[in-house]
Amino acid sequence: MVFSQERVDAFRDLLSTSSRIMVIGHRSPDGDAIGSSMAITHFLRSLGKEVSVWMPDAFPDFLSWIPGASDIRIYEGSGKEANRIMADSDLILCMDFNRSDRTGPMSQVLMNTETPKVVIDHHLYPADEFVVTFSETQASSTCELVYRLIEAMGEKERVGMDIAHCVYSGLVTDTGSFKYNVHPHTHRIAGELVDLGLNSAEVQSALFDTQSEQRLRLLGYALSEKMRYFPAHNASYITLSKEELKRFNYKKGDTEGLVNYGLSIAGVKFTALASEKDGVVKISFRSKGDLDVNVIANEYFGGGGHKNAAGARSEEGLLRVIEIIEGIIKGLPTA
């Protein structure tokens, strides 16, 4: 069992005394944040709970097909209402993040709320601000943990097609279509969801085959013009300025997965993507083997994530971020 019976019972007790529940995902929500938030929402609603789902900011259009995604509210522009709902809720579920500061504009009010918080997450080093913590860093995704929590509660009969599609979307996106951080439990769950009637090809198509022409042209430009390769250090990186993103009519989600291309070069063990938006540089790191990019992201930018996949943000400007990334690369062992 991935979760102790004590924690499962504590969560069940909290649910028994909670009628109004707020579900929150992290800033710049991805497929796992949306999928896990909606999976737990469908489950809670099946128990008769009143659930409000919030993200700090907008999510990519290619995730809008996920069942229930139209119910998601965005904190930016509706902060006062969200703060009121948070104060009036009996319980808050924090999905796919483990520190309040991962929620951007929501962070201060979430950190200071008196409403009890439960976290379901698979990232390293959870904060101690939660009354119940469901954390497993070896899990493929938070969606996997939601499914296993429902199992541990003895409620698998409540997993219908809505929950199945939500969970599967997180499994697929967070593992790069089952390439990264995959374990036997991951495939077991995927198989059980297919047994329920889920069409894997349709989900994959909804996630990956609805790209715009401009997104593909941006991808081509990034790989042909903006990728730097350091064969002596088995490393690469890509950068995109705000002007370059604007040239390709950038929409949220257009750079999703771009960082992984640099890691597909034979021999490369470290790669990064730095993209500039709204005065902030978003940095994604990927690695192979024992190279711990969680440590790198935290040391240089105060970010974090997983051993082989981490992220960070910087307000120092793109040129300075490039200098730091090149310094990191030059400090890596030579081939």
* Structural domains of the chain sorted by starting position, each given as residue range(s) with its CATH number in brackets: 5-207 (3.90.1640.10), 213-330 (3.10.310.30)
Which H/E stretch holds residue 141?
none
Long-range contacts of residues 72-78, Cβ cutoff 8 Å, at least 24 apart: 72/34, 72/37, 72/38, 75/103, 75/105, 75/106, 76/105
Burial 42-52 (b: 16+ CB within 10 A, else e): bbbbbeebebb
Q: CA angle, 207 as apex, 203 and 210 as ends, to 5°?
A: 115
**DSSP secondary structure letter of residue 333:** P
pLDDT digits (tens, 9 = 90+) for 192-231: 999 999 999 999 999 999 999 999 999 999 999 999 999 9
Residue 243 and residue 172: Cα distance in Å, rounded? 31
Q: How far from the centroid of its chain's Cα atoms is residue 19's Cα?
A: 27
What's residue 1's pLDDT?
A: 57
Whether residue 22 contacts residue 86, with contact meaning beta carbons closer than 8 Å, is answered with yes
How do beta strands 227-230 and 132-135 pair?
unpaired
Q: What percent of the chain has pLDDT over 90?
A: 96
Residue 56 and residue 83: Cα distance in Å, rounded? 12
Which tokens belong to 225? 């013009």
Collapsed DSSP state (helix, strand, coil) of residue 304: strand
Residue 316 and residue 29: Cα distance in Å, rounded? 23
Which H/E stretch holds residue 262?
helix 259-263
Q: How far from the centroid of its chain's Cα atoms is residue 55's Cα?
A: 12
pLDDT digits (tens, 9 = 90+) for 250-307: 999 999 999 999 999 999 999 999 999 988 999 999 999 999 999 999 999 999 999 9
pLDDT digits (tens, 9 = 90+) for 140-194: 999 999 999 999 999 999 999 999 999 999 999 999 999 888 999 999 999 999 9
